[in-house]
Structure 1
Amino acid sequence: MRPPLVLTGGPAVGKSSTARLLAQLRPRAAVIDVDDVRHLVVSGHAAPWEGEDGQRQQRLGVENACSLARNFVAQGIETVLADVITPDTMPLYRRWLPNAVVVRLQVTMDEAQRRAMSRTLYLTGEEFENLHMEDARHPPPADHHLDVTDYDINEQVAAIAALWKHDPRR
């Protein structure tokens, strides 16, 4: 069984789409979109950039997502997580999913905006741009960094599947 796979990167790099397609290639696999876990807080939800409460909820989302992943893995279900990881949240993933393979996807801002046009966007234009630029300026220390600007979704899935299968740390 493969270790948990964590996909990270700025908005619209294809984390969630890639996670779903990768999971479909495996015999038993789950996908955890960490934003979905964070949005379980319906009343009083705060985005990570909305002060101390937002930071606390961001950490809680990571903790809950990692707990879900550990539960799936304990039952023999491979797991792919999708999240915008920051240098502050990366240590949490390393603590709670120590054997996870973390792959950071990156695209140019133009490509991110092009990809964002094909989906529902829950961020303002300013939030989108700030998250993308922050990921570029302060990338988390991932195991693999992959520029997928010129990849279609199938090429993206194939490249990440190969990294997940042949991660040299295993």
Structure 2
Amino acid sequence: MNTGPIWVLSGSPGVGKSSVARALLARTPRGLHLPIDDLRDLVVSGLAPPSLTDDPEATHQFRLAREAARFHARLYAEAGFVVALDDVLWPADLAMLRVAWDGLDVRPVLLAPSLAVTHGRNAARVGKPFDTALLVPMIDALHPGLQPADFLAAGWHVLETSDLTVEQTADALLALPW
């Protein structure tokens, strides 16, 4: 059986990582979506919320969720599934994930719409178990730090998705040269 690719989608909260992952995987016969937020939400007690400060417990819990995703991504990719992992990741984070993905087809992409579009998408989100307005300060802090040039230099693809729908973004991902 052939291994499936592992898509790694990054971007600030609200850019559409999960929506794009679902649209991408809906086009495959077998797909697994690994949103780091959902893995973290499996914590029943003691969940440390995301923070803009250096909270050691939140850092520890994000590391655990990423390690779990790394394991599951390899397991499913080796079984022929197309895998999409989404999180707010920087190039150094991917280096940590790749340790367990040697020999696999890893496809890192930064989704990079404008800050205004990101805020609009965040405000329009539904189905979250919290008020998405709470993410506005996090978006304002993280978005500028996710510099496309840094990702390009590390071998990522960068998609400016301000003018793209979710479906158009999935099309654009599939059209990238790998």
Shared fold by TM > 0.5? yes
Say yes or no: does 1:28 pair with 2:34. no
| Change in CA separation of 1:18 and 1:11 when aligned onto 2, cut-off 3 Å | same
1:74-85 equivalences in 2 (<5 Å): 74-85=78-89
Say yes or no: does 1:124 pair with 2:135. yes
Q: Name the residue aligned to 1:17.
A: 19
- Asked whether the equivalents of residues 104 and 142 of structure 1 are also in contact (C-alpha less than 8 Å), the reply is no
Q: Which amino acid aligns with 2:164?
A: Y
**Could you tell me the TM-score, scaled by structure 1's length?**
0.86
Note the residue ranges of structure 1 that are not aligned, 5 or more in a row. none
Counterpart CA distance in 2 for 1:142 and 1:57 is 27
Q: Name the residue aligned to 2:158.
A: 145
Aligned residues: 165
Q: Name the residue aligned to 1:37.
A: 39
Q: Which amino acid aligns with 1:6?
A: V
Greater shift, 113-122 or 6-15, is seen at 113-122
1:53-64 equivalences in 2 (<5 Å): 53-64=57-68
- How far the C-alpha of 1:138 sits from its partner, in A, is 8.5
Counterpart CA distance in 1 for 2:140 and 2:17 is 17
Say yes or no: does 1:134 pair with 2:145. yes
Say yes or no: does 1:156 pair with 2:149. no
**Could you tell me the TM-score, scaled by structure 2's length?**
0.82
State the Cα RMSD in Å: 2.1
Say yes or no: does 1:69 pair with 2:80. no
Counterpart CA distance in 1 for 2:4 and 2:65 is 23
Identical amino acids, percent of aligned pairs: 30
Q: Which amino acid aligns with 2:170?
A: V
Q: Name the residue aligned to 1:95.
A: 99
